[in-house]
Amino acid sequence: MIGEVQACLAGKACAVQGITTLILGLLTADASEELPDVEDGSWEDEYLKGNGEEIYEFAFPESLEGMTFSEAALLLYEQYHCILLAVQVPLRSRQKEEVYLG
């Protein structure tokens, strides 16, 4: 799956400036407990808060099946404050899976 995500990400990088930096930051998150003192609301404060965020793989809930990617992403964001980045879908005609990057 990682190869497919990398290929999709390379394509998205052409259209969305900074997405590779964002994803790399999420893949290499540092959830250290000690954060330096910085001014609330400063860019450093926002950076340090975001630095603890990570990407997780999980089984797609049956309750979301049949939704478009956009519908599922919106629902997940509104209800759980998480961002749907990609969906891995088994292909019926082949023995492999396809990855859709949002």
pLDDT, tens only, 14-44: 888 887 777 777 676 665 666 678 888 888 8
Predicted TM-score of the model (pTM): 0.55
Per-residue model confidence (pLDDT) at position 72: 92
Q: Provide the token pair at 16.
A: 């969305």
Q: What is the number of domains present in the chain? A: 1
* Helix H or strand E encompassing 80: helix 69-80
Q: What is the residue range of 76's domain?
A: 2-101
What CA–CA distances, in Å, run from 53 to 7, 12, 49, 76? 23, 21, 8, 16
pLDDT, tens only, 78-93: 998 888 888 877 777 6
